[in-house]
């Protein structure tokens, strides 16, 4: 037993850590949730507390500051969701190039109500490890909280933890999902503000993965069937709290390079998740049900359907942007 423990400790020293906390409830990092309230997932997460020892609540802390929150599935070895606030990039930085970090409280130690009953576990039992992602299945590490949405370099670095990623099809991660993340960033920058300070950008974001029934990476890590994301913010243009959601299948897109993901309502994504989880799935505890119709045109992989109307000596240019219609009227003088 002593030799087994010594071997485990040696392995611990080989992993870079993100100094996070396994908590219950999410009260230590409630600021990442709309109105301070996490989602409700029947039988999994209710009243901000885990309902099943399979799922761990993690406040992701880096350099003595909480950066985001994660609900982690120890059996599937993937996050259920990560929650963060988008506040726009505060400094210029390049994508970090660092080793993937682990959450030591999830990986090695299960702490009960008394320290005498704490249990040391083998590495890579409760969460995925870097070697679990070595594969030939056209998969890579897909962020839930993307570093693209981080406000500063330290927060971007904190997203490179194995409790914040899932196995994602490379062509999907680099294709429609990546394009959607950029579009959401631009929509938030354009429309979302802190209700108390219109000079500040603020949105509450939840991004998650739906576990598959039996698809595993290297016989260990669940390969999600779908990925989803939704944000809620105060729309400075309409003066209302609004939301926008996206979800898609985690499938190969190498033969469909122009694929896009259309925005959906909060109600639609909750109904989708309710069907997948066979029970209540409430993302925001408060009224944020109005769909934010923000149309942002990106140049990469752009497909537009354009219609011209020459009636009454006017030209009406209608552009369909990922399912949202924007109109531009140009008057012609005779």
Instruction: Report d(CA 47, CA 313) in Å as an integer.
Output: 59
Q: Which domains occur in the chain, in start order? A: 2-300 (3.40.570.10), 304-334 (no CATH)
What are the tens digits of pLDDT across the range 56-109?
A: 999 999 999 999 999 999 999 999 999 999 998 888 889 988 888 876 665 544
Given a cut of 70, the residues of the chain with pLDDT beneath it are 1-21, 103-123, 125, 136, 295-334
Task: Give the DSSP letter of residue 29.
Answer: G
Give the count of beta carbons closer than 10 Å to the beta carbon of residue 10. Answer: 10
What are the tens digits of pLDDT across the range 219-252?
A: 999 999 999 999 999 999 999 999 999 999 999 9
DSSP-assigned letters across all residues of 179-221: HHHHHHHHHHHHHEEBTTBTTS--EEEEEEEEPPSS-EETTTE
What pTM does this model have? Answer: 0.81
Specify whether the CB–CB gap between 166 and 224 falls below 8 A: yes
């Amino acid at each position: 037993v002593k030799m087994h423990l010594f071997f485990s400790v040696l392995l611990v020293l080989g992993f870079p850590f993100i100094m996070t906390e396994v908590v219950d409830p999410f009260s230590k990092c409630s600021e990442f949730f709309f109105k301070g309230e996490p989602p409700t997932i029947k039988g999994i997460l209710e009243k901000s507390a885990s309902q099943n020892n399979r799922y761990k609540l993690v406040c992701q802390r880096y350099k003595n500051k909480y950066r985001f929150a994660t609900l982690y599935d120890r059996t599937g070895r993937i996050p259920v969701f990560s929650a963060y606030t988008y506040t726009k990039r505060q400094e210029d930085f390049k994508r970090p190039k660092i080793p993937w970090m682990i959450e030591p409280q999830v990986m090695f130690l299960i702490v009960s109500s008394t320290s005498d009953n704490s249990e040391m576990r083998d590495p890579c039992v409760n969460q995925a490890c870097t070697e679990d992602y070595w594969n030939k299945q056209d998969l890579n590490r897909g962020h839930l909280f993307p570093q693209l949405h981080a406000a500063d370099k330290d927060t971007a670095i904190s997203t490179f933890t194995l409790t914040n990623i899932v196995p994602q099809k490379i062509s999907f991660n680099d294709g429609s999902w990546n394009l959607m993340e950029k579009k959401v960033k631009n929509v938030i920058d354009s429309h979302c503000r802190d209700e108390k300070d219109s000079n500040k950008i603020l949105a509450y974001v939840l991004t998650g993965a739906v576990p598959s029934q039996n698809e595993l990476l290297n016989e260990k890590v669940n390969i999600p069937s779908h990925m989803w994301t939704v944000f809620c913010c105060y729309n400075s243009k309409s003066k209302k709290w609004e939301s926008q959601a996206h979800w898609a299948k985690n499938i190969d897109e190498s033969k469909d390079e122009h694929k896009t993901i259309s925005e959906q309502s909060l109600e639609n994504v909750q109904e989708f998740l309710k069907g997948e989880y066979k029970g209540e799935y409430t993302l925001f505890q408060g009224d944020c049900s109005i769909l934010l119709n923000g149309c942002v045109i990106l140049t990469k992989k752009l497909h537009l359907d354009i219609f011209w109307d020459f009636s009454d000596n006017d030209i009406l240019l209608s552009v369909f942007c990922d399912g949202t219609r924007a109109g531009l009227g140009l008057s012609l003088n005779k």
